Structure 1
């Protein structure tokens, strides 16, 4: 029998009456400060990205638009006007379809055909690269740890090497933008629960798109992912099915990309040249190794011979630190793979993939003929965003917050922000290649001709298509089947009555070679680098047939 409660133990709840009734729910809006904080954070992030975009756009304009970027702009213009698969076009050995060419098309939808399209695309590509690198670095971290990782990525990538670095990361599409879909893949690997059963298919599609646009994505994306997944599948103790899915997705993406490019060609779309890279001779490997560290240093802004004695000293020390941190993070991640092989475990999958991708990129550079000069830093530019993610995921969490670390971080942030501000302030717009020739041709009502490659597409874009110049090659010139469209050389469609000769690069036609092939001109006008030869007849029938070079 239970004891009878005493009067003191009985608690009678107070009845709610109209006089005492108040609003139902929490007395104070507990969620409001959190929502307000998120709103302020989002506003600050968007403002920061806008400042970065404007700054990078100003720096990008310091690189004059050249024929490669102009060719991409013309291809996007064709896509915008209904030539979806670029029928009749022969591209270079890298198509950038459907990656940066789609980006160019969207920009031209609002801006039209003009040289600044190349600069807007370069600036927005680099901002996207930073954004996706930051998201990939964040991983599953939350709170302060997530912001530290994001801050590390921004610190590593914020300030490119002046001048030399600008021409790599803020210029025409040349492997820099390939990092965007690859980092998106890394993000998908981390976010697979959100996509449920569809995530392997999404990974396959994104990797395939990256490889369609740039074959380098196979060597620094799909193959490393397949290798890491295979190793983990054999030696890892847990979640083997995830690695099996990634292995299948990586291999399937290679097959899908090749099939898609082949299908586009069979349907009458664009054609691409075979890769121009070849295996180097063994005797050249030491020179390539010496060039390797210098080109990677340029990508990280840490190549001191290019820094000089002016304002660039502001960030030279910071650049050296981030370069050293990348090497440390890379070594630490490779060690985790060794531990995985020895005794199993479950270390960071994304970090391992990116580390192996960096090793593949560096090894391919040393072993290929692409290692020619400092401009070949673009061949290993993926090491910059991949390394930034590695530093954030491997090293950032090991730093314990303290007064010292906060002071160091604040000083480093001040130096980098100052360097970014000075870079943008001192960057000056550079003219489009052969801009003076374009102006003269338009002024004298010369609307169609042929010319050396580095003057051809730039003149067309500079004039908004009002003057068109088809590219030629060889000392005794012929039609250049590279970043050009076949119908440009059809005398039934066009009447070309001038030739632009590049006096610095004779492989694109010499004055004597042009006269030998096309006859004597009726007028010759010399500019600083270029010479314009005007004819009283159509020169297209005299050029050899359009053929692969």
Structure 2
């Protein structure tokens, strides 16, 4: 309950911080178009009949989110800011949850949390074999004349059967020494079983505490990478209109199911549904979700020759998600619903790949916060750039190591899927004809949370292996001349005073070897402790600096919408309906809460034509609307030029120029005879 409350409070703090950042971004026509579609979706048009959307519809994802937010905010720029803040908060929390190992606990802590027995096994050097055997009277205050064995902490059975396990228990770099590695405690436990029970309880409590702490380490690392975006382009990419950023939510949910519900029979079905849900709104999920899942799980299934296992079922789930998403969109269109153009994706010439790769590298810098746009206070940009550099380096290292693991066949399933998804997203941007510039960073937005998860999982394992509180990893076994074996020490009978069956000299030799091994362990732990402390210290610095930036730096609030000055003038003049360039059309409609409606147009053959993109066919209906002005952006002639307007409608009553906008006012309905190709 305490953990859930802390996470909820953290989420609220994130939401408020991200809302402040989102308000630093001006609402453009893309987000405003989605807002109008969401309003229609929730007000009697569930299939969005008559709408032509963009090549990314966001129909079952962000449009639903927008509609829910509008129940509180109405159709307004604030609604877009709130939705963006909610989306990025969800991305950060889901990434942290996914990065956190399931059932995470360091091996030393996990051992400490297991139930202990009331017997102790003492490692003896040179023993011929393992003769320990459980006694039915073990742990009773009066065991009688029967010889009892004392198990080495919680894993006595394992230690007795596996000398290497016993060897690791002897060194015990975690400091959670059991009776097996401490002759004094062994003697005390032999005389009083209650001491062993008490010690094992302390070990269990310490182990649970360490396990809980280490379980959250990876989550904290993921949050550190995603916590505070760089002001400027990163705000515009991650905290504005739906720009593929929200598509990371269904991706992360699908990977959570793969990781957390891997033993559930229903898991592949749920993964297929979640990926299909996301892909129906954004085709990018097919390329960075379903395709990597199919490729990696099918490869694992073939390598292991398990064609009926979890990997094979997940491969089928990925294929099923593609079929389901396409079937859903086909059915909607057949029922008279919205139309979404197919994205025009083709291979770019090979000669362009190096230049495109360089631009993609800068786009990655925008996402991770290492690219300085020079639009905010220099101290803010320099500080955030410095603390974001470790994150991008860690992500590159994690991707490289996972690739090596893939070649060797040792990569974890989730790590492999994440790595291939990242490569697919970046690679598609390099080899395709998709528009490529820093504003196109939105196309690779899911790379950031997936990289954060992959990097956090790698860093967590690395720090865990070097932590003085974790058991020594297998690659660093306890230095000993030879692994000790486990021999039972029959305890003396209080009445008969029987002699011990183990010679004193053998016991002394064993004790000396244990002391030497423990000393080597302490020296080894000290060596491993240095990089672990350095890594944790760097993480603390990164988080502290980002918290200071989040709390202390208030980004300047931007104008609510693009073309705000033109919108204000139109509203003051009482002009309610007109035509305009795309980037000053639907955003003005939303920014004025429909007090002024501007319909998008294009320039074609020397005149203005309707735009088949983010528009509804009724917008151009002269019987329903009376358009009396044309609003143009003089810097974007593809959406209409003054020459187009004059050739089509003649001289206006007046022309007004405001900043880079030109407004032509007429005294007749400009929709009469207007060509709406859609």
TM-score by length of 2: 0.72
Rounded to whole Å, the distance in 1 between the matches of 2:622 and 2:296 is 54
Rounded to whole Å, the distance in 2 between the matches of 1:193 and 1:321 is 32
Gaps in structure 2 of 5+ consecutive residues: 105-211, 468-528
**1:523·1:533 contact (CA, 8 Å) conserved in 2?**
yes
- Choose from 86, 95, 100 the match for 1:124: 86
Rounded to whole Å, the distance in 2 between the matches of 1:408 and 1:536 is 67
Compute the displacement of 1:59 (Å). 0.8
Moved more, 171-180 or 364-373: 364-373
- Choose from 539, 546, 561 the match for 1:416: 546
Rounded to whole Å, the distance in 1 between the matches of 2:262 and 2:423 is 29
Aligned to 2:636: 505
Aligned to 1:478: 609
Compute the displacement of 1:405 (Å). 4.2
Aligned to 2:63: 101
Q: How many residues align?
A: 502
Aligned-residue RMSD, C-alpha: 1.8
Compute the displacement of 1:211 (Å). 0.6
Aligned to 2:73: 111
Q: Please say if 1:333 is aligned against 2:464.
A: no
Q: Please say if 1:76 is aligned against 2:205.
A: no
**2:24·2:555 contact (CA, 8 Å) conserved in 1?**
no
Q: Please say if 1:528 is aligned against 2:592.
A: no
The structure whose RCO (Cα within 8 Å, separation 6+) is larger is 2
**1:298·1:377 contact (CA, 8 Å) conserved in 2?**
yes
Q: Please say if 1:396 is aligned against 2:460.
A: yes
Aligned to 1:51: 13
Matches within 5 A, 1:229-308: 229-236=297-304, 241-304=309-372, 306=374
**1:115·1:432 contact (CA, 8 Å) conserved in 2?**
yes
Question: Which structure has the bigger radius of gyration?
Answer: 2
Aligned to 1:13: none
**1:139·1:187 contact (CA, 8 Å) conserved in 2?**
no
Q: What are the superposed Cα offsets for residues 101-129 of structure 1, whole Å, 9 maximum, x if unpaired?
A: 11000000111111111111111110100
Q: Please say if 1:210 is aligned against 2:278.
A: yes
Q: Please say if 1:373 is aligned against 2:437.
A: yes
Q: What are the superposed Cα offsets for residues 267-325 of structure 1, whole Å, 9 maximum, x if unpaired?
A: 11110112033321222111011112111111100124658843222232221111110
Aligned to 1:144: 213
Q: Please say if 1:458 is aligned against 2:587.
A: yes
Aligned to 2:675: 544
Aligned to 1:319: 388
Compute the displacement of 1:476 (Å). 2.1
Describe the SS at the equivalent of 2:560.
Answer: coil
**2:579·2:631 contact (CA, 8 Å) conserved in 1?**
yes
**2:221·2:539 contact (CA, 8 Å) conserved in 1?**
no
Rounded to whole Å, the distance in 1 between the matches of 2:441 and 2:31 is 18
Aligned to 1:14: none
Describe the SS at the equivalent of 1:430.
Answer: coil
Aligned to 2:625: 494
Aligned to 2:424: 360
Q: Please say if 1:86 is aligned against 2:48.
A: yes
Moved more, 497-506 or 247-256: 497-506
**1:301·1:319 contact (CA, 8 Å) conserved in 2?**
yes
Relative to 1, partners in 2 of residues 1:494 and 1:385: Cα closer, same or farther, differing over 3 Å? same
Gaps in structure 1 of 5+ consecutive residues: 1-37
Describe the SS at the equivalent of 1:352.
Answer: helix
Describe the SS at the equivalent of 1:500.
Answer: strand
Rounded to whole Å, the distance in 1 between the matches of 2:415 and 2:262 is 19
Q: What are the superposed Cα offsets for residues 194-248 of structure 1, whole Å, 9 maximum, x if unpaired?
A: 7x33222211110001111111111100001000011001003679510111011
Relative to 1, partners in 2 of residues 1:408 and 1:394: Cα closer, same or farther, differing over 3 Å? closer
